Amino acid sequence: MAGDGPILEAAGIVRDFAGVRALDHVSLTVGRGEVHAVVGQNGAGKSTLVKVLSGIYRPAAGTLRVAGRRVTFASPRDAERAGIGTIHQQANLIPQMSVARNLLLGREPRRHGLIHVARMNELADDIVRRIGLRIDVRRPLASYSAGTRQLMAVARAVAASSSVVIMDEPATGLDVADLDRLYTTIARAREAGRSIIYVSHRLAEIERICERVSVLRDGRLVHTGPLANLSRLRLVSLMLGRRPAGAAGATHPPGMDTPSTGTAAEPADPPILQATGLTRRHVLTDVSINLRSGEVVGLSGLLGAGRSETAKAIAGALPLDSGQVTVSGKDLRRRSVIAAVRAGVGLLPQDRTTEGIIANLSVRDNIVLAALPRLTRAGIVSNARLDRIVDTFMTRLRIKATSPDQPAAQLSGGNQQKVLLARWLAMHPRVLLLDEPTRGIDIGTKTEVQALIDDLAVEGLAVLLISSDLEEIIGTCDRVVVLRDGAVVRQLGGDDITENNLMSLLAGG
């Protein structure tokens, strides 16, 4: 590579959306072989910047240089040709096509104008092996989990001969083992002289893999510099524009001291939800979980351990070969989502863009959608009441939108997630199944969400919390059920919920 100036320079970038200045004269300089973090609260402008750098948006003002040369991108292809590869927050893969095809999308090897399938599969096999995954590249991408698909997106961008790889929250959906693969992939890319722009909300991760950081706040660049010597508190203050209220980590609800026996002793009172012997061939084997009113129970496990499947099974969204779910002692015999919702069981699914947000509906409608039947008295809904609910959740979850009437599609990724969370909370369910509720949510709101979960438990809700964030599990849960290969391996309670215990159980030690 010629020259040793910065590989990428963005200067004075401006981008407006109707009424919102998403980027206000933002500049970013990335050195060769550098891993550069971009951080900021939900809606700060990170994904918008990524989209400008990758040719999806044209900036209203500002300039871009790659290896010192001035460039303008009319399309994502232009950016790719200039050596910028991107993994977007909402991965742009095609689930119905094979893994191989997805990996080489747009760069498929051809012979006589046709895709050379054997060669394509060979190349794909090689890419997959290099990131340490053992999967069949001929199978459709859809047959693999969200985490695997995310790793695919990473592998795809790194495999393209890009000099800069931009990753917008690539760790989303990855468990501990896959995270390691991601870090290895990044380390290799860097050894090969590539630069990486890394957008993430996980500060520990950033401290581990990045050298420099740029902080965005309300569309402005408020800081850029080396990560060494920058304390976590200072970084968070820069993001929030204030000192964080209380350090990270939620509080335990009082009076839930479980004795520290080897296998967690469950409280004596009857559970509100009883799932017994949930079984589905190759997916779940005899999984039983009880939830009591006021309890937050964690569900831990690696990717593929069956966490999301367990939640879906309880919510009636996954057909079972056998098993039983009762709510307040009543058997949910008709196993369907509607039956579960009627019984007061709500599920916040993991894959929120495809399983939740209705893009062209307003923020307001997205929030009240599910609560509407409950709020309707004789077919009449009081608008004032709806407004109050929408207002409460928008404030409490700090949903950044121009107004409740803004289409949900226009919100940043993290804010869309908050809208979905608000939808389920507005329903006042008796049992709430949360699949990675704080993933992609900024640190300022994360503690707020965790505190909200605590409050809801105190008000009598039973919560099942799936989270790959061990700190969150430890800080929020009264009990933890650990799954491996679709079966329960252990329950932990009280003082036994420690990072060491969880790690060794997850890993199968």
Ligand X SMILES: Nc1ncnc2c1ncn2[C@@H]1O[C@H](COP(=O)(O)OP(=O)(O)OP(=O)(O)O)[C@@H](O)[C@H]1O
Summarize as ranges the residues that interact with Mg ion (CB under 5 A): 46-47, 89, 412-413
Distance, CA of 503 to CA of 490 (rounded, Å): 12
What is the phi/psi pair of residue 230, to 5°?
-105, 115
| From the list ligand X, Mg ion, none, partner contacted by residue 264 (C-beta under 5 to 8 A by kind) | none
Of the pair 442, 478, the CB lying nearest ligand X is at: 442
| From the list ligand X, Mg ion, none, partner contacted by residue 312 (C-beta under 5 to 8 A by kind) | none
Distance, CA of 120 to CA of 417 (rounded, Å): 36
Residue 354: CB minimum distance to Mg ion, A: 17
What is the phi/psi pair of residue 285, to 5°?
-125, 105
Of the pair 50, 394, the CB lying nearest Mg ion is at: 50
Residue nearest to Mg ion (CB): 47
Distance, CA of 249 to CA of 134 (rounded, Å): 36
Distance, CA of 84 to CA of 157 (rounded, Å): 9
Residue nearest to ligand X (CB): 414
Residue 487: CB minimum distance to Mg ion, A: 36
Residue 369: CB minimum distance to Mg ion, A: 23
Residue 80: CB minimum distance to Mg ion, A: 20
Write the single-letter amino acid at 244: P
Of the pair 17, 382, the CB lying nearest ligand X is at: 17
CA-based nearest residue to 94, from 149, 132, 57, 154: 149
Residue 54: CB minimum distance to ligand X, A: 13
Of the pair 267, 407, the CB lying nearest ligand X is at: 407
Of the pair 80, 169, the CB lying nearest ligand X is at: 169
Strand bridging mode 273-280 / 20-30: unpaired
| From the list ligand X, Mg ion, none, partner contacted by residue 150 (C-beta under 5 to 8 A by kind) | none
The residue ranges that bind ligand X (CB under 6 A) are 17, 20, 22, 40, 42-48, 89, 400, 410-415, 442
Residue 191: CB minimum distance to Mg ion, A: 28
Are 419 and 412 in contact, with CB atoms under 8 Å apart?
Answer: no
Of the pair 170, 486, the CB lying nearest Mg ion is at: 170
| From the list ligand X, Mg ion, none, partner contacted by residue 463 (C-beta under 5 to 8 A by kind) | none
| From the list Mg ion, ligand X, none, partner contacted by residue 366 (C-beta under 5 to 8 A by kind) | none
The alpha helices in 113-170, defined as continuous H runs, are 117-130, 146-159
Of the pair 413, 493, the CB lying nearest Mg ion is at: 413
Of the pair 45, 294, the CB lying nearest ligand X is at: 45
| From the list Mg ion, ligand X, none, partner contacted by residue 17 (C-beta under 5 to 8 A by kind) | ligand X
Burial of 481 (0-12, 13-18, 19+ CB in 10 A): buried
Distance, CA of 460 to CA of 295 (rounded, Å): 8
Distance, CA of 430 to CA of 341 (rounded, Å): 10
Residue 250 DSSP class: P
Residue 308: CB minimum distance to Mg ion, A: 22
CA-based nearest residue to 314, from 278, 284, 338: 278
Residue 117: CB minimum distance to ligand X, A: 37
Strand partners, 65: 9, 70
Strand bridging mode 61-66 / 69-71: antiparallel
